Chains A and B, each alone.
Chain A
Amino acid sequence: MKVLNVKGYLFVLTLLMMGLIFCNNCIAFQPLAGDIETFNPSFQYFDEDADDVIKIGLLWPFSGPAAANGAIYWLQIGWAVHDINTQGGVMVDGKQKKIVLIKGDTQMEPAAAKRAAEKLCLQDNVDIIMGSTGSHIAAIGQNVAAKYKKIFVNMASYSDTLMDQDKFNKYTFRTCSTTSMLANGLAHFYANRPEKDFYILCQDYAYGHEFAENFVQALAQVRPDARIVGKDFHPLFVKDFAPYLSKIQGANAQVIITADYTPDSNNLTKQWDQLGMTIPLAGPFVLNPLALQSIGEPYGKGFVTVQSCLLDLDKPGNKEFALAWNTQWKRWKDPLYSTNLFQWTGSTLAQATIGTYWLMHVIEKAGELNPDKIVATWEGDQTIIFGNLYSMRACDHQAMFNMHVSEIEWPNDYYEKSAGPIKVTAIPAEKIVPPPPKGLKNCQ
């Protein structure tokens, strides 16, 4: 074997050094590896005119009555973006590019949403659009994005029909759960529980009806002896839930299944308590620390929550994320973000943060911002983020992952004055992800 001389060693050493320098540019970012301590959700600034950046349009309500919702996503996505940017950005076209977020204010109104989406595409020239709360708004966002061949990432709208044969387009991906995934997850949780009499109380529009239908169907499969003792659909933004709740008491239900979100979920929780009810609420949005705090002890103990990602300090990955978040939350002084609502991440809070990390991984894998390349890369992609496995179903661009359900308890280690998840049950993705939509060409 020939031994290297000094020149040989120097040559090898030089190669190693060059490799190191080269690799420094190709190392992918890692969640939570950035300078997250400098993140302040109230003071996020992005240079919209900067060159060589990845422009992301956020299509959410940033004004009007639903502005709180936009503020939540600004925080969630801002977290991931700050983390990635402080690691140098995302490797695209052979160089690291930072991410710039640009707001597109939907005001939660279709006309305003269309204007905002068009502006993001034509004037701001964003590379990708993320959105949108409200299925009717998401539908607009994904149509406008497809018209201009932009990727649209749905991180907040659950309606299954958004990705069916009528509405699907190849540039849209959904990283959040669907209504049926949430309902199926909840039904599977009750498969082995003693409760068998359920009352359904949901909002009277597509989302509420979809949730109820899916829950009933899934429950019939996994728990044939269960009974739906009543079903009501109330208008959006009900002031007085008392008539509904008294009716439910009379029906001798053991669980109230509700897909309501705020402000309905808050009013429901408060008035549930005022009527002295003991029948627990179960649904995706019952774990709201602010609403639970308002009803006093035992702060919603016994409610059941279902989410794609639930706070779980026993789970590696999830624990690091939750602790990092909680540490930063203690520094946020803005009243908008300093409430207990944001004390811990998980549930809907975590969903968009995870979706943002995933999207950026995909872009890095694609190596360019060409939408067709991103589509090809993301279809069938798998990734593990904070201990959960996420897969993108190629034929309808629906993310698949386990659903998590928990009966919330008080006292707990998370909240002083709110019940929180202690024992989290994971419902496997194969049990809760609906089959691909019939009639969608790619799925046949």
Chain B
Amino acid sequence: MNPATAMYIIQALHGLAYGMLLFLVASGLTLIFGMVGILNMAHASLFMLSAYLCYQVLAFTNSFWMSLFLAPLITACLGLLLERFFLRKVQAHGLGHIAELLLTMGISMVIAESVKSIWGTESLVISIPPSLDGLASFAGIHYPIYRLFIIGLSFCILALLVTVLYKTKLGKIIRATASDPGMVSILGINTPKVFAGVFALGAWMAGVAGVAAAPMLTVFPGLADQVGMDAFVVVVVGGLGSLLGAFVVSLTLGELNSFGVQFIPKLAPVLVFGFMAIVLSLKPNGFFGEGDH
């Protein structure tokens, strides 16, 4: 293959892989905001916690697949407890979004400090599982299998979400609850349970992202800050609560980063924020955001 063509394909794949990883983190965040109306500042911390849990499960079982199953599940359970015992009470008292923001920020700090006291402050070693290690070759291009796995996993999660939300009765209930909880409640549906379930689902997605990122990135107490900012950019630019927006913006940011580094490296870090500024100046609610948020 022509080296220039190969370069374009490889950089496009890099952008896709990072964009999809970003989508995995951001989708849970936007889902929670879109359906429950909570801007969960602890989302990135749940992502980080799951990466640490991945390390721990790996230490016990030596199985990445077990980590991929257990760590998000534990993170989802934690999300469920947080919603049930903290966020629901704040909402019941009608304290509004500011109280939710403060509460979730506090939770993120507690998670960060807990992580340090349990696992220490040093970086942890998580290797790529042997079955996903190595390079895949196609048309003369060699590409890491693990990155292809992240791309595939993210598309599977996206497909699962879309199917559940738009093709099932449960999805209808969730969307109806998000739209008019009072009416849904009158129809006999336990709306607090629906909200709790959605919150747990969002936390589970953060957990999946944490496990997927762990072998690729460095697991250390700053991981949440490192990825959290990008996830918030995705959610805001995509439109708060919009899954499609999160998907489009994640991919755009990934590709902007890849090709920015290739062609205009000095400006590459600014491209993301330039893109955000342009979008928000033209569409203040983000690409697919709705005005009522």
Contact = CB atoms under 8 A, between A and B. Distances in A.
Contacts of A335: 119-120
B218 A204 contact: no
B278 interface: no
Contacts of A271: 216
Contacts, number: 114
A379 B86 CA distance: 60
Contacts of A250: 3, 7
Nearest to A263: B218
A242 B259 CA distance: 11
Contacts of A295: 127
Interface in B229-263: 230, 257-262
Contacts of A239: 18, 217, 226-227, 230
B126 interface: yes
Contacts of A71: 120-122
Contacts of A262: 123, 218, 220
A336 B116 CA distance: 9
Interface string A224-268: 000000001111010110111011001000000000001100110
Interface size class of B (residues with CB under 8 A): 35 or more
B218 A232 contact: no
Contacts of A270: 215-218
Contacts of A276: 134-135, 142, 144
A274 B147 contact: yes
B14 interface: yes
B153 interface: no
Contacts of B269: 204, 234-235
Contacts of A347: none
Contacts of A243: 11, 14-15, 257-262
Contact of B18 (A67, A204, A240): A240
B226 A237 contact: yes
B220 A68 contact: yes
B157 interface: no
B226 A67 contact: no
A65 interface: yes
B223 to A, nearest CB: 8
Contacts of B133: 296
23 contacts: A65-B221, A67-B121, A71-B122, A204-B269, A232-B265, A234-B265, A239-B217, A240-B257, A242-B17, A242-B18, A242-B258, A243-B15, A243-B261, A243-B262, A246-B14, A262-B123, A262-B218, A262-B220, A263-B217, A263-B226, A295-B127, A334-B120, A335-B120
Interface of A: 65-68, 71, 204, 232-235, 237, 239-240, 242-244, 246-247, 250, 262-263, 266-267, 270-271, 274-276, 290-291, 293-296, 334-336, 339, 341
Q: Which 3 A-B pairs have the closest CB atoms?
A: A65-B222, A68-B121, A243-B261
